[in-house]
Structures are given as structure tokens and as C-alpha cells.
Amino acid sequence: MRRALDAARAAALAGEVPVGAVVIHDGKAIATSANAPRTLHDPTAHAEMLAIREAARILGRERLEDCDLWVTLEPCAMCAGAIAHARIARLYYGASDPKGGAVEHGPRFFAQPTCHHRPELYSGIGEDEAGALLRDFFRERRA
């Protein structure tokens, strides 16, 4: 999660909502990404999406059933869907997101009968720091 938080900080410096994600395979971080929709002109470029795509590219396959994903914020519906499509084994996330989250809020995607893969879920890891990064970012933008 340390590495994901560093990526979130890098996102903030680039003017992006500070969220970071890391894919772990065989105990190694093979893809680390910062949220970047504005920078990349890509509405799908959330940290989780970029990390999953990079990991799949590196491993040369569309399924990551032997990989874990660490992300600083509760995934949205788009990212939760991608996590299921990728067959991620374990999902670790930091702050919960009542406004846009889709794991414990709104669609609660992994609990839906139309969800074809549910990762093991671990939440609240590093949530104080992840949440503080987001609060500071939005406070500065409003100032």
C-alpha cells in the first residue's frame, strides 16, 4: 500500500484526483499506476484500470487470477467490473468512497448475481493516509 499511496501523491502533483494502484504477482509489484484521466484524455484511466492493463500486457494474458490489486480508494463500478473480468485474486483497498464506490456502496457489484468473479476483499488498509490525500486535494482546489 505504501507504493500505491506514493502513486496517489504523484497523481495529486499532476492535478489528478489522488488515487494509486499496484498489481502484485509472485510477491512482486509488476504494475504501479496513478489516476490519470485528464492527463491522458481518457475517461477510463483510473489507477486500477491502468495497473490491470499494464499487468495483463506484461504477463501476456487477459486473466490475472494469480495477482492481487492494492488501491488507495474503494473502486468504482467501472474498476470493480474490470477487477472481476481480470479475475484478480485479492483486492486490498484504503479509504471507502460513499459517493462513487461500488464495493460497499451503490451497486455493491461483487454481491450481484451478474458478477462472475468475486475477489477476496480487504478494506481500510492505509485509509487514514489515503483519505487525507483526497481531502487535502479537494480542499486546495476549492481554495
Residue choice 1, 5, 52, 91 for contact with a copy of itself (CB under 8 A): 52
Strand ranges inside 1-143, DSSP E: 20-25, 28-34, 67-73, 90-95, 120-123
Residues 80, 126: Cα–Cα separation, whole Å: 19
Residue 102 lies near a copy of itself (rule: CB under 8 A) = yes
φ/ψ (deg, to 5) at 70: -110, 130
* Site mask for a copy of itself (CB under 8 A), range 58-97, x = bound: -xxxxxx-----------xxxxxxx-xxxx----------
From 48, 65, 104, 127, the catalytic residue: 48
Tell me how far, at minimum, the Cβ of 100 lies from a copy of itself, in Å: 5
Task: Give the CA distances from residue 117 to residues 27, 32, 82, 124, in Å, rounded to whole numbers and listed in that order.
Answer: 22, 23, 10, 21
CA angle 70, 18, 7 (to 5 degrees): 50
Query: Was 46 annotated as part of a binding site?
Result: yes
Interface with a copy of itself, residue 37, by CB under 8 A: yes
143 binds a copy of itself (CB under 8 A): no
Residues forming contacts to a copy of itself in the complex (CB under 8 A) are: 37-38, 40-45, 49, 52-53, 56-57, 59-64, 76-82, 84-87, 98-102, 105-109, 112-116
